[in-house]
Each structure stands twice: as C-alpha cells, then as structure tokens.
Amino acid sequence: MSQSTKPKLGRPRSEVARIAILDAAYRLLIDRGLGRLTIEAVAAEAGVGKPTIYRYWANAQELAMAALIARTDFRKSGTKIVPLVDALQAHMADVVKVFSTNRGRQIITTMASADAESELAKAFRGQIIEGSRKIGREILTSLLAQKTVKQDINLEHYLDMLYGPLFYRLLTNKMTDKDYSERAVTLLVRLIKADK
C-alpha cells in the first residue's frame, strides 16, 4: 500500500539499459579503477545516454557500489566441513583470495570514498561486508555451541578480529597470502578456546 505511489505511468524503465550500465560500470571499475569510472565513459561503453544513468544513480560512487553489489556471489560452502576449524580455514582462504584481487581493492576504495550515510552505502556494506561475515558467523556459532557456556557476547568481536586484520593489511598494502590466512584462523581459534 505504501509502495502504491507508482501507478505505473509512462514508459517503463528499460531493464536492458540498467544491466548494460551495471556491466559497463563493473568492467571500467575493475579495469581502470574508481578514479577513472566516469559517467561519460560508462554511458559510451553501455551505449546509453547519460541521463539514463543519472535516473538510477546520483554519481559515480553510487554506480560503483551498485555495480559491485550486482556481482556479489559468495561461495556458500563452509559449514558442512566437519572439523569446524577446517571449515573456518577454508572460508578465510576464500575471503583472502577474493579480496586480494583487483576487485577486492576496488571494493575497499569504493567503500572508503562513499558517503558513509547514504542508503546505498549501507546496502553496499550489508551486501559485501556482511556477505562474507555471515559465513564466518555461522561457523563460529557452531564452534561456540560446543562449549558449555553461551559465548554470544564476544561473537561479533571475534568476527572483527578475523576480518579486521585482513582489511587493515589490504588498506596498508601489506601482503596477504595463504600463510597469513592460516595463522589468522589459528590465533583466533586459540583465543576462542582460551575463553573456554
């Protein structure tokens, strides 16, 4: 009822155009970086008029976020692996791999550049950050459930300690490889065990 404000008047928006824009934007973002992601270039690449882009997104940052969101696909694999620590290792290796690509760097740049309060920025964080975090949370929840006491108090903190250092290293241009990933998980598991 609240969404009934659109009586479906006028020519409907072209889904084809919208997708072409997102595709072109994604390509430019990955290939050339956020600084080179100009609306003009996207319009030319997508074979679309500039106003069509502005009808959906207010500026290049928003478009970049939308393009990244549209390509979110996180491997859901994880929870099934039996030794839960191994599951965590596999997941972390996956996350490290994903964020060590060009795409990963652009995600960070885009996130840092975006207006933090905008709706799209929230959606972006929800999709990209929470997307990875969710899997880790599932595994950690199972891991913690094996303990007698309920440990939910520190759950989110553990997640911060798992993913935080990765982003920190990416941001500060430090190496992030398999060894790094393994030790990060090992230390975290050790901490959790210490917490009984």
Partner DNA sequence: TGATAAACGAGACGGTACGTCCAGTCTTTCC
Partner DNA sequence: GGAAAGACTGGACGTACCGTCTCGTTTATCA
> Please, what is the minimum distance in Å from the beta carbon of residue 161 to a copy of itself?
5
> Please, what is the minimum distance in Å from the beta carbon of residue 36 to DNA?
7
User: Taking CB under 8 A as the rule, does residue 173 contact a copy of itself?
Assistant: yes
Only segment of 16-24, 72-80, 84-92, 156-164 that touches a copy of itself (CB under 8 A) = 156-164
Inter-residue contact 19 to 52 (CB < 8 Å)? no
Q: Which two tokens stand for residue 132?
A: 């990875």
Residues that bind DNA (CB under 7 A): 7-14, 17-18, 20, 36, 38-41, 47-52, 54-55, 59-60
Which residue in the block uniquely carries the two structure tokens 């959790």? 192
Nearest Cα neighbor of 74 from 49, 91, 55, 57 is: 91
Give the residue with the Cβ less far from a copy of itself, 10 or 82: 10
Inter-residue contact 87 to 146 (CB < 8 Å)? no
User: Taking CB under 8 A as the rule, does residue 184 contact a copy of itself?
Assistant: yes
Work out whether the CA dihedral 100, 103, 104, 109 comes out positive or negative: positive
Number of other residues whose CB lies within 10 A of the CB of residue 25: 26
Residues within the interface to a copy of itself (CB under 8 A): 34-35, 105, 108-109, 111-113, 116-117, 121, 125, 129, 154, 157, 160-161, 163-169, 171-173, 183-184, 187, 190-191, 193-195
